[in-house]
Amino acid sequence: MPNAFNFQSSPFDCLTKEEQARVRARVDVVYFPKDSVILEVGETPSHLFVIIKGRVVQIEENEIVATYDIDDCFDGRGLVAGKSSSQFLAAQEVVAYQLGRQTVSDLIASNVSFGALLFSDLGQKLNVLSNRADEHQMQSLTLTRVDEAFLRPAHFVSSDATILEVVRLFNEHRISSVLVNRLVSSSINEGKAQLDQRELTDMSQQDLVGMFSSNDLQRAILSNPDQFQTLRVIDFARFNLICVKPSSLVGDALAMMLKHRIHRLVVQESGHIYGVLESLDLFSFLSNHSYLISTLIEEAKDLETLKKAAQKISVMMSALYKSGSKIHLICGLVQELNARLIEQAWTLIAPPDLIANSCLFVMGSEGRGEQLLKTDQDNGLILRDGYSPPGDLQAITQRLSEALIDFGYPPCPGQIMLSNSEWRMSASEFCKRLREWFIMPTPERLMNLAIFMDADAVCGDASLLMQVRHSQMQFTADNDAMLSRFASASNAFGSDSGWWNKILGIASKHESFSIKREAIFPLVHGVRSLALKHGIYQTGSVARIEELVQRGYLSSKMGLDLTQSLHLLIELRFKSGLKEIESGQTVSGRVDVDLLSTLERDLLKDTINVVRRFKSLLTQQFKLDSF
């Protein structure tokens, strides 16, 4: 039976072949009847147990704090510490592997990752996973096809084109190279080209097309500084083109650039030129993809191009996550790209005068920089006091809302959008509205306040938003009763034992829970409430946590636990949403605990415990026992 030991489950999935052999040689099988005590509080553990069949519960102060099922292991921390801090009880008949203390100690000594995943806290476990993901990310990206990277269109110039004409082309299209066609004169073309079906890989024909780049421009100017404008590009172009096929791997393309010491490759096959792969774009692709999409957004002249950019953002998120990128880095990139996308769309739709006298802002998870999958659009518009907007303002704002819908951002069910006049008003009107929400609170108004607290400017005069935010902070300062009522919403969700039982494995199988309602919202709103109480203007949850720690309102340990917990919860929600999208389902925001890996369940348990401790801290700080 030891030969069937599952080395795919954590923490054994990080062992080398030699370490796996050591486990097989020294592992035994043990049986525990139902309701028997496997480990008692204060007992010195002699073995690490890995469950083959059955279920074990961990009990502290007469409360079940964790459950262990097939492939789960326990009690690693007690084994290392020399004393168990919990009681471990067989909830069912249990068959388990047992691995002796000395063998486990030897594995910890030879494999740092094994030790960290076995008995460390949440932060150390996540650091180990992060390091393993970094190695996987670069390997995955270098195995991507060249045509899945960012290719620049092939811009052709004629054989008699002058340096001045090409410089104008560089400036107009924001490019740094052109292809020179010996067969064509007196014309400039762009786009894909089919050169009489000639094979460019055939060296006898390859001198028909050359490349003129910004480096060649420098050579041309230095050769004749006084009359360089009239020089012909063909005299300075390089005709020894290095080409790759669209199906070539990105890693091979990078190696080819390094080998030939060049910065550009022509992507072609059977004489058909698909575009040009530049080193800057290639390095950007290998790092985070965002530069390429940002370029597409900035160069967009119409909403249709922006729609393509929005689609690329979704593809980028999925690719980065599957290749092992850290979730907080993906969140930051997505927030920046979404902001640029919305800004460019608003610039294409709204007249310049309106943009100059208003502030377009986004709210909710988008404003906090914690949104990955496209969910409800929450946005608004602040107008400068005394400014008379265009008469068709409603139509203008409606166009933006519809454009965002077309980009894949669903409309907000609560109509929290700038196309709704309730979220489109002057700065002074916004200040008055916020004051009314605080003075005469209702559940809906308190939720609106929470959403607005996460507002982040994306276009126009950002000082207008700051003016409203400053007014909000002023009339909430020292209003303890109102702040407590605002903070009490953190207890509105996550207090039901049902979802906790699902995570522990006590509830029936094939059930899911809303990770946003039960875990993310209590954490985010609790941090938001503390930020409001202490006059912190940051909008992102992590930035708020960092400032709360810096000012001494949160301990460093709690701040780190909250940050790492938030990132894990966002990742689990994102992963679940990706699976729903790939299977053609609507994103529900729910997580099926049965589909989580052993390590993910373990990390989720740690994270939920962090949220519970944080809610206790909020109860003390805001005196929430009375609500």
48-61 residue pLDDT tens: 999 999 989 888 87
Place 595 in a pLDDT band, splitting at 50, 70 and 90: confident
Helices (H), 426-555: 427-439, 443-453, 462-476, 480-487, 497-504, 515, 521-533, 541-550
> Which residue do the tokens 């063998």 mark?
103
Place 188 in a pLDDT band, splitting at 50, 70 and 90: very low
At 202 the pLDDT is 38
- pLDDT per residue as tens digits for the range 311-359: 888 878 887 777 667 788 788 878 888 999 999 999 999 999 999 999 9
For residue 177, give the H/E element and its range.
strand 177-181
Please determine, for residue 193, whether its predicted confidence score (pLDDT) is greater than 50: no
Please determine, for residue 288, whether its predicted confidence score (pLDDT) is greater than 70: no
> Cis ω on the peptide bond leading into residue 11 (within 30° of 0)?
yes
Distance (Å, rounded) from C-alpha 43 to C-alpha 62?
Answer: 17
Percent of the chain with pLDDT over 70: 85
Q: Please answer whether residues 489 and 582 qualify as being in contact, where contact means their C-beta atoms are separated by less than 8 angstroms.
A: no
- pLDDT per residue as tens digits for the range 517-546: 888 999 999 999 999 999 999 999 999 999
Higher pLDDT, 280 or 397: 397
Rounded to 5°, the CA angle 26-27-32 comes to 145
Residues in the chain: 627
Distance (Å, rounded) from C-alpha 242 to C-alpha 278?
Answer: 12
Please determine, for residue 232, whether its predicted confidence score (pLDDT) is greater than 70: yes
Distance (Å, rounded) from C-alpha 597 to C-alpha 594?
Answer: 8
Neighbouring CB atoms inside 10 A of 71's CB total 18
Distance (Å, rounded) from C-alpha 236 to C-alpha 421?
Answer: 60
Mean pLDDT of 434-443: 87
Q: Which domains does the chain have, with CATH numbers?
A: 2-118 (2.60.120.10), 146-287 (3.10.580.10), 290-476 (3.30.460.10), 486-626 (1.20.120)
Amino acid at 243: C
Distance (Å, rounded) from C-alpha 65 to C-alpha 58?
Answer: 6
Please determine, for residue 46, whether its predicted confidence score (pLDDT) is greater than 50: yes
Under 8 Å CB-to-CB from 153, ≥6 apart: which residues? 190, 191, 192, 275, 276
Burial class (CB in 10 A: 0-12, 13-18, 19+), 318: middle
At 143 the pLDDT is 61
Confidence (pTM) = 0.66
Q: Please answer whether residues 469 and 487 qualify as being in contact, where contact means their C-beta atoms are separated by less than 8 angstroms.
A: no
Of 573, 571, 559, 561, the residue nearest 516 (C-alpha): 573
Higher pLDDT, 393 or 507: 393
Place 137 in a pLDDT band, splitting at 50, 70 and 90: very low
Mean pLDDT of 190-216: 55
Higher pLDDT, 585 or 191: 585
Mean pLDDT of 355-376: 90
Under 8 Å CB-to-CB from 106, ≥6 apart: which residues? 22
